[in-house]
Structure 1
Amino acid sequence: MSSIIQFIADFVFYYPLAMSIVWIIGALYFYFRHEAGRKRSIPILSSYPMVSVIIPAHNEQDAIESTILGVLESDYPNFEVIVVDDGSKDRTPLILQKLAREHPKVRVLIMKQNMGKPSALRYGFLACLGEIIFAIDADAYVEPDAMRWMVGHFVTGPRVGAVTGNPRVRNRTTLLAKIQVGEYSSIIGMIKRTQRLLGKILTVSGVIAAFRKRALLDVGLWDIDMITDDINVTWKLEKGFWDIRYEPNALCWILVPETIGGLWKQRLRWSQGGGEVIRRHVDIWFSWKQRRLWPIYIEYVVSVFWSYAYVVFGLLWIIHFIIPHSLPTVELLPDWKGTILVALCLVQSMIALYIDNRYEKNIIWYHFWVIWYPLFYWLLTALATVVATPKALFRKMGKLAVWSSPDRGL
């Protein structure tokens, strides 16, 4: 029994170590193969298919106008904007109606009841004229050339079903926000580069994603009962054998939570959404055709197991100070193993920020704030997973996944 406990304790250390090495190697390979040495010149496409930009919004009176005006500044020659107000109680509908009168490209759908983001996306889809669906969040500011970069994949790849862009942190006034600058580079960016090399991207970023209309119809659009629409629709597309790509040149500036409470709610939702997707798509194990998704499924389950082990052994470490015991522990303050992990994390962050310096000059200086990242990321992620997984496994599915306005920064 003691050997099993020791094995789990060692696993808590070796799992993040191994995954960091995988992400570093994958991101560097992707960078030197697809990014390094190439100019960021605006792509000239052989054709410009109609693009329908869908923006679901709920109580977004402070951000929605700048988001829409940013989209209208796009240099893509053929697009429309459809904004779906999902039962907002603030001034959002009035702002949208004003913008629709002033800009012919903007159309507005007003829903009287909060039906949830997936439902808003589905209603917006029904009104779309374009063959490419470009979905962004109501607080996102997309670069003028982002649409060209993403549409280029659909023009050259007939089997491309979705393209995910490159979210960048827009608000950086607090330590939490500055830490997330490093996170979006060293974790999210690196994972997407690595997964793209493996041919199976797990999640298109809901804040900026483009879809082929035919691909969405093929998989039945977004499921209205899933708390995270982006993860679930990605899995549906992967199961439908559509190609999903990552375009780092498609920049999108987003607002991240700047309070512990706001960050906790966000990560709890992400963790629950991941668990719901794993629960819904367990059927991949009954089809040999879906075997390329098996490793991704296993990796997620292993990450959940790691979170529980990390929290349990961390609690044992805390209890040891009150009631001494001989059981294995995981020190929340770094010992020699923790020091190795932190050092590797800092190396990973330095490499990621170096890669992203191509898209955001001087971002390398945010490495100073990343020293706090291992503690925040591991502890917060583990706790959120432990709390959210039972909700995901036992939540009654079929009910609308309604939403509330997230923390948009201080």
Structure 2
Amino acid sequence: MQPNLSPIKPSFKPRNNRFYVTVTTKFWVSHALAIGWTIFALYLSLPWLRDLSSIVSLPLAILIIGGIAYVPGYMNAFLIASLLLDRQPVLRDQYPSDSVTMLIAAYNEEKSIFNTLQYVANQDYLGKIHIIVINNNSTDHTDQEIIRAKKELNLDITLLHEYKPGKFHALNKGLQHVMTPYVITLDADTLLHPSSIRYLVSRIKNSPSNVSAVAGSMLVRNSRETIWTRIQEWDYFLGIASIKRLQGLYQGTLVAQGAFSLYKTECVREVQGWPDAIGEDIVLTWRLLHNQWKVYFEPLAVAFTDAPPTLSHFVKQRSRWARGMIEGLIEIKPWNQPQLYTKYLTGINFMMPYLDFVYTFCWIPGLILAFFGFYWIVGPLTLLVLPLTIISYSLLYTYQRNYVFKNLGLKVRRNTLGFILFVLCYQMIMSPVSVWGYLQEMFKLKRVWK
């Protein structure tokens, strides 16, 4: 992806606030619609429930069908209703000039770090950007590439070294040297759209004082590399983006991802920086939320990352994400979150192991049985979830294309095969991988970052 490097002037117009609907109203209206859909699904599923309970008992049948249809259907209906009601607040000041510090933890990044810094140099941000790169015990020529970037790109770069392995050690080392009110984290292999930093800072500057962080929007850069990256392009573009928008609407984005997010420096320091966790960004975000701060999401602050090009790399990354979620749940239980929306959103995460276990050990075997004519678990009624999925993806696609890509001068590339495989097969890969991540955390297996 080679974006236009000229400053972006968005074409959207402020919406009329005369019909403003409060977040609380959106929350309960979305719930009402989702519950209505679930009741309808329960009614339609009675024959299915009766047949399955005659084989495995009624309680087990409810657990299985609940994990396959009831809960996913409710969640999709809640997502669709919320997205239809979502109205991103207009940015009053789109050209802030506050000084910011960027932390980049680098481990053997000689092939990518210069390119990443080049995109930082091409930002249209009016304020000063101080960059701190923390070399986390690299054994290649990462240092030389950083020094070259400092000279050739005329960037304000400070190079630090952290010899303790672990990204959280590197980020905390850099945090000690931050002198600005805002700090941005950026992965060493991530490329920024030229207006990304401006939108991140603008969002937090135009937000209430209790907003502690703003997550950027991650998209896939290497989507043409393999079939795996083609599938993941749609996961980032539709799946992850929709969840981020939902969470941002309810002021509790659950992951201000370390790949590209902005934080208030004082807030990060108050929660003791990044924790010793494989999902350090997840646990940090939940600590911020636990301190009664809010975390927003800015869809126009786009960054492009490399998705895992092979199945083995994908398994390592996504099992790590699942394990990080469990770390967050262990440290801060959903019911201990102080805000209603955050209780609910982390509560959904609390349900994910149940859903993934049912999908892995019931739905997938049930699909195999269905091919042989046994519709005990997977049958025609399971297709009821599909229309909701298509509707939600259609809404997201329209929003991403018309609001995000159009305003940023980007184009949605054709990837029909990737989309078909994403809709039909992706969850059959994701759920077992997530279960593997849960088991890793349960048995405290060795952490693997890459």
Q: TM-score, normalised by structure 1?
A: 0.85
Name the counterpart of 1:311.
360
Q: 1:72 aligns with which of 121, 131, 141?
A: 121
Name the counterpart of 2:111.
62
Name the counterpart of 2:399.
355
CA distance in 2 between partners of 1:325 and 1:352 (Å):
35
Name the counterpart of 2:131.
81
Deviation at 1:244, TM superposition (A): 1.0
Residues 226 and 276 in structure 1, CA contact (< 8 A), matched pair in contact too: yes
Deviation at 1:291, TM superposition (A): 5.2
When structure 1 is superposed on structure 2, of 156-165 and 373-382 the one drifting more is 373-382
Name the counterpart of 2:271.
219
Q: Does the C-alpha gap of structure 1 residues 315 and 142 become closer, same or farther in structure 2, counting only changes over 3 Å?
A: closer
Letter in 1 for 2:237: S
Q: Does the C-alpha gap of structure 1 residues 221 and 402 become closer, same or farther in structure 2, counting only changes over 3 Å?
A: farther
CA distance in 2 between partners of 1:192 and 1:349 (Å):
14
CA distance in 2 between partners of 1:340 and 1:313 (Å):
18
CA distance in 2 between partners of 1:68 and 1:362 (Å):
24
Q: Deviations over 1:72-99 (max 9, x none)?
A: 1112221111111111122212212332
Q: Deviations over 1:86-120 (max 9, x none)?
A: 1112221221233234435011112345x211111
Residues 235 and 422 in structure 2, CA contact (< 8 A), matched pair in contact too: yes
Name the counterpart of 2:162.
111
Name the counterpart of 1:154.
204
- Aligned ranges 1:319-334 → 2 under 5 Å: 328-330=376-378
- Aligned ranges 1:33-72 → 2 under 5 Å: 33-34=87-88, 43-45=94-96, 48-72=97-121
Does the residue aligned with 2:218 lie in a helix, a strand or coil? strand
CA distance in 2 between partners of 1:320 and 1:148 (Å):
53
Does the residue aligned with 2:88 lie in a helix, a strand or coil? helix
Letter in 2 for 1:89: T
Does the residue aligned with 1:34 lie in a helix, a strand or coil? coil
- Aligned ranges 1:187-336 → 2 under 5 Å: 187-223=239-275, 225-282=276-333, 285=335, 287=336, 289=338, 292-314=341-363, 316-317=365-366, 328-330=376-378, 335-336=379-380
Name the counterpart of 1:403.
449
Q: 1:380 aligns with which of 413, 425, 429?
A: 429
CA distance in 2 between partners of 1:317 and 1:288 (Å):
37
Name the counterpart of 2:36.
none
CA distance in 2 between partners of 1:44 and 1:387 (Å):
45
Does the residue aligned with 1:251 lie in a helix, a strand or coil? strand
Q: Does the C-alpha gap of structure 1 residues 340 and 213 become closer, same or farther in structure 2, counting only changes over 3 Å?
A: same
Deviation at 1:311, TM superposition (A): 1.5
CA distance in 2 between partners of 1:362 and 1:75 (Å):
20
Deviation at 1:320, TM superposition (A): 5.2
CA distance in 2 between partners of 1:270 and 1:311 (Å):
17
Q: Does the C-alpha gap of structure 1 residues 91 and 380 become closer, same or farther in structure 2, counting only changes over 3 Å?
A: same
Structure 2 residue 145 is matched with structure 1 residue 99? no
Residues 26 and 190 in structure 1, CA contact (< 8 A), matched pair in contact too: no
Residues 268 and 387 in structure 1, CA contact (< 8 A), matched pair in contact too: yes
Deviation at 1:187, TM superposition (A): 1.4
Name the counterpart of 1:407.
none
CA distance in 2 between partners of 1:132 and 1:288 (Å):
25
CA distance in 2 between partners of 1:297 and 1:104 (Å):
39
Does the residue aligned with 1:133 lie in a helix, a strand or coil? strand
Does the residue aligned with 2:102 lie in a helix, a strand or coil? strand
CA distance in 2 between partners of 1:15 and 1:370 (Å):
24
Residues 349 and 367 in structure 1, CA contact (< 8 A), matched pair in contact too: no
Name the counterpart of 1:135.
185
Q: 1:3 aligns with which of 58, 61, 64?
A: 58
Letter in 1 for 2:279: T
Name the counterpart of 1:120.
170
Q: Does the C-alpha gap of structure 1 residues 337 and 63 become closer, same or farther in structure 2, counting only changes over 3 Å?
A: farther
The unaligned stretches of length 5 or more in structure 2 are: 1-55
- Aligned residues between the structures: 385
CA distance in 1 between partners of 2:448 and 2:374 (Å):
47
CA distance in 2 between partners of 1:8 and 1:26 (Å):
26
Name the counterpart of 1:408.
none
Name the counterpart of 1:15.
71
Residues 93 and 110 in structure 1, CA contact (< 8 A), matched pair in contact too: no
Q: Does the C-alpha gap of structure 1 residues 316 and 188 become closer, same or farther in structure 2, counting only changes over 3 Å?
A: closer
Letter in 2 for 1:154: I
When structure 1 is superposed on structure 2, of 270-279 and 293-302 the one drifting more is 293-302
Q: Does the C-alpha gap of structure 1 residues 345 and 175 become closer, same or farther in structure 2, counting only changes over 3 Å?
A: farther
Backbone CA RMSD of aligned residues: 2.8
Q: TM-score, normalised by structure 2?
A: 0.78
Q: Deviations over 1:226-282 (max 9, x none)?
A: 101211111000001112111111111111112111111111111111111111113
